[in-house]
Amino acid sequence: MTSAVRRLVFFIVLIAIWEIIYRIYSQQTAMFPSPLGSVEQLYIGLFDTGILRVALGESLGRIVFGFILALIIGGFLGVLLGVSRLADETLGSLVIALQSVPSIVWLPIALILFQGGGGAILFVVVLGATWPMTMNMRMGMKNVQPILMRAARTMGYSGSELVWKVMIPAAVPNVLTGARLAWAFGWRALMAAELIGRGGLGRTLMDARDFYNMDLVVAIMIIIATIGLIVEYFVFSKVEKRVLSRWGLQTNT
């Protein structure tokens, strides 16, 4: 049995269990979501009214833009912390401190700074995604094998040339890990910020809750989880296999 078939069987079993629980609780309350009702709300929201399609497009636009900004900012900070001891001992301490603060905590301040606009949500997303990227980039820069550094210096590399041609390429596996964590943290921060802010899947989920449409709530949760699965299996997993194979850490199968 292939992994795809195993996953399919697993989700079929989960849906069957969900249906059984629904049939039990539907006799007690009409608000318990059903599998069929959630699928129906998915179809209506994506292809009929278009509410979910618009919300999904808005959320994806925010996460993509925020993710790119986080990669740029986090990558720069990671390189700086990796090559400068002074920056690592000062700015690095601040990064570690900020990393422990949930990004959603910044939303009230962001709403004031950006006057409640979409920039506040983007700000929270960037904050949530930047620190994992920074710390993994830093780790990759500091864990470059000493033999590579000695060989590069023997070949005449020094200064910025040593950073760009040796340290950064050697840190690529850590960069990939940082990018994966940045996406995960950024996606979660986006959903949390949209619950309080305006627009996107998060706001639509809150509106569905206010109207007691639990089927729509679950439908939105399915979209959020599906996006996570797609990005993980069709983007990061494929890139990871190529990178690990290229760096000799995994053989091609």
Compute φ and ψ for 27, nearest 5 degrees. -75, -20
Letter string b/e over residues 12-47, b meaning 16 or more CB atoms within 10 A of that residue's CB: eeeeeeeeeebeeeeeeeeebbbbebbeebbebbbe
Q: What is the pLDDT of residues 101-149, one digit of tens each?
A: 998 899 889 988 888 778 999 999 999 999 999 999 999 999 888 888 8
Contact 128, 189 (CB under 8 A): yes
Q: String of b and e for 52-91 (b: at least 16 CB within 10 Å)?
A: beebbebbeebbeebbebbbebbbebbbbbbbeeebbeee
Q: What is the pLDDT of residue 250?
A: 60
pLDDT of residue 28 exceeding 80: no
Predicted confidence (pLDDT) per residue in 146-171, tens digit: 888 888 888 888 778 888 888 888 88
- What CATH code is assigned to 34-246? 1.10.3720.10
Residue ranges per structural domain of the chain: 34-246
| Residue 90: CA count within 13 A, CB half-sphere | 5
Q: What is the pLDDT of residue 198?
A: 81
CA dist 250 and 33 (Å) reads 44
Q: Which of the four pLDDT bands, split at 50, 70 and 90, describes residue 253? A: very low
The 10s digit of each residue's pLDDT in 186-237 is: 999 999 999 887 889 999 999 999 999 999 999 999 999 999 999 998 999 8
Six-digit token string for 141: 């820069």
pTM for this entry: 0.88
